[in-house]
Structure 1
Amino acid sequence: MGDPLRDDSWPVGKGVTLIVLQNPLRTRVHATGEEAFIVPPHWHAFHGEHHIVLKGRICLTQDGVSRILRPEDGVCVTPAGVVHSIETFAGEETILEETTVPSGETKVIFFRNLFYPSVTRSFLRTMQVFYYGDAYPELPLRSRWLEWLMVVVVGGWVAGLLGYQIPDKRLRLDQRRFPPSKKD
């Protein structure tokens, strides 16, 4: 358990493990409750997500509306374009699964890149992973076009011009967003 590019399970925080599951392909977050696991507000232009709590509870916020989800609540759908965030509760063990709509391995490869050592410690590297992984952080002004522009300029152009490369190049294979070129 440890290398996001090779293993199907790796730590992503204190007492938090991300696990890749198959059939169907999905990610599982297992938080022991040592501390809260927080996914900051963000949105996706090209995919939606399905979240299901298997154990414990989470606070899911969608477009500013927060609610507590438990296992008995079943699947919660977050459509493309909806700003959302997730938070577990310190002191409570939580198991949460996520699948994407449309399905595919892009989200798993996104997580493999994002949690590769040192990526989240670099703003440029994080924005580059966001660019290729269809993720846009919500900014204080809450302007979608500005959020999109920041990710495209910083992650898509500046990071590349400065020589940054994503660890797992398969993230660039989403042909809806990045048609193949002769140099790829």
Structure 2
Amino acid sequence: MAAEQRSTTYLQPSFTIPRPDRDVTFILPSQEATSKVPDGVTRIVIPPGSQWTPSPHWHELYDENFRVVAGHVRLTVDGRTSIVGPKDGVQRIAKYDVHDFMRADATSSEYSGKDQAQEEWMSKDVIVEEWTSPVDGMKEIFFRNLFSVIHDSSRVYGWKTELQLMMVQSHCDNYPVIVSDSRIWQPLTHVLFFFAVLLGGWLGLKPWYDEYTPPRLRGVATSRHGAVGKDELKKSK
């Protein structure tokens, strides 16, 4: 697999994910003065009619901060679901808490026939922001490499795409729930990722690529878990 085959996307300010209902846009942090989002923050724009969800997942090295800028979402954290809007402020999602979200009106039966204010936001984009604690750029590395791999999947990775995606997820502390049984979802995901990373490395795949990762973040990517990884290294000495 020749490195030059990959798209050069590290300067791309946003990624739009094609979907059968409505496309979802991720606006990523930028060093440009005209950036639409604060440094370290990813903004997700979910249009009306979209049923997109990131699917249940968890993190083990980072707490995640979640804020609704416009509209309302149905946020599920550790099995508890609530409707969250701009007035609810920042939602802190702790390490190991399985979480997921989607537009609150994605399942219309619960939100049909509401008052005028709710009908108004149901017809507009839902906008949410995410960032980690600590903020070190690893979330941006994750999104940039994940979406770039998806973009290049048919042309560069082919049947290796799923392996490549799992390598990115494992490297960037993003673990999906594979089965519904809460007693085994964490060990099962780790076992599957262990063999995926092993096989992917043997096939010449990497957990991140220069073509996808801004120069300012390549040191973080190399340290595997950014500021968290550096802290752990210090403790081990």
Shorter-chain TM range is: 0.7 to 0.9
Structure whose alpha-carbon radius of gyration is higher:
2
More helix by share: 2
For residues 134-157 of structure 1, the C-alpha deviation after alignment (integer angstroms, 9 at most, x for no partner) is 111112133222222222221x21
Is 1:163 aligned with 2:168? Answer: no
Contact kept in structure 2, 1:20 and 1:27, CA below 8 Å: yes
For residues 141-183 of structure 1, the C-alpha deviation after alignment (integer angstroms, 9 at most, x for no partner) is 33222222222221x2111112223453533433554999xxx
Cα distance in 2 between the residues matched to 1:177 and 1:95: 31
Aligned to 2:27: 19
Give me the identity figure in percent: 28
Aligned to 1:115: 147
Is 1:124 aligned with 2:163? Answer: yes
Contact kept in structure 2, 1:4 and 1:10, CA below 8 Å: no
Q: Residue type matched to 1:139 in 2?
A: I
Cα distance in 2 between the residues matched to 1:29 and 1:4: 18
Aligned to 1:47: 62
Q: Residue type matched to 1:9 in 2?
A: S
Aligned to 2:174: 135
Cα distance in 1 between the residues matched to 2:222 and 2:147: 17
For residues 3-55 of structure 1, the C-alpha deviation after alignment (integer angstroms, 9 at most, x for no partner) is 74221212124431111235442100012224222110011110011100010
Structure 1: state its 5+ residue gaps: none
> Root-mean-square deviation (CA), in Å?
2.6
- In structure 2, do the counterparts of structure 1 residues 94 and 125 end up closer, same or farther at CA, with 3 Å as the change threshold? same
More strand by share: 1
Contact kept in structure 2, 1:60 and 1:68, CA below 8 Å: yes
* 3-state SS of paired residue (2:55): strand
Contact kept in structure 2, 1:112 and 1:168, CA below 8 Å: no
Q: Residue type matched to 1:39 in 2?
A: P
Cα distance in 1 between the residues matched to 2:192 and 2:174: 11
Relative to structure 2, which stretch is displaced further, 119-128 or 3-12?
A: 119-128
